[in-house]
């Protein structure tokens, strides 16, 4: 694995009123299935706080291309992203992306679409 291309993403979602934990978990399982099917998805995990009705997602990709492939799949017709947005809203300011500048350059449209905050990681940074 080339650590100089790794992209990490974190997001928080707030659950919509009336949405059950079971409904949230059902959508999360669909995301996890997609993540497990995409080469270059190194780590993908949801953490849930049922009392506060929020979840956090931690994602690690081998490179920007793997992240883009994941996004293409979840956004495609029948993909789980529209389902997620039906049960939860992204917490404003919670989309964080860390990567070397060369990988961030490939993600400009994603950064704009999700109003992400980016953090540049030195190319030589290790795990």
Q: What does the domain layout of the chain look like in residue ranges?
A: 3-120
Give per-residue pLDDT as tens, 40-52. Answer: 999 999 999 999 9
Judge: domain 3-120, CATH 1.20.1440.230: no
Q: What is d(CA 67, CA 20) in angstroms, rounded to the nearest whole number?
A: 29
- Specify the 3-state DSSP secondary structure of 21: helix
Tell me the pLDDT band of 1, cut-offs 50, 70 and 90.
low
Give per-residue pLDDT as tens, 107-122. Answer: 999 999 999 999 999 8
Q: What is the Cβ-side half-sphere exposure of residue 62, based on CA atoms within 13 angstroms? A: 12
Q: How many CB atoms lie within 10 A of CB 104?
A: 20
């Amino acid at each position: 694995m080339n650590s100089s291309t790794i992209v990490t993403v974190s997001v928080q979602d707030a659950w919509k009123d009336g949405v059950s934990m079971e409904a949230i978990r059902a959508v999360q399982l669909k995301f996890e299935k997609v993540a497990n099917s995409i080469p270059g998805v190194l780590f993908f995990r949801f953490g849930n706080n049922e009392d506060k009705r929020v979840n956090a997602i931690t994602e690690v990709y081998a490179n920007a291309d793997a992240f883009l492939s994941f996004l293409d799949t979840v956004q495609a017709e029948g993909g789980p992203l529209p389902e997620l947005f039906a049960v939860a809203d992204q917490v404003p300011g919670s989309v964080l992306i860390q990567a070397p500048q060369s990988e961030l350059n490939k993600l400009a449209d994603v950064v704009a679409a999700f109003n992400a905050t980016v953090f540049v990681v030195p190319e030589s940074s290790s795990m």
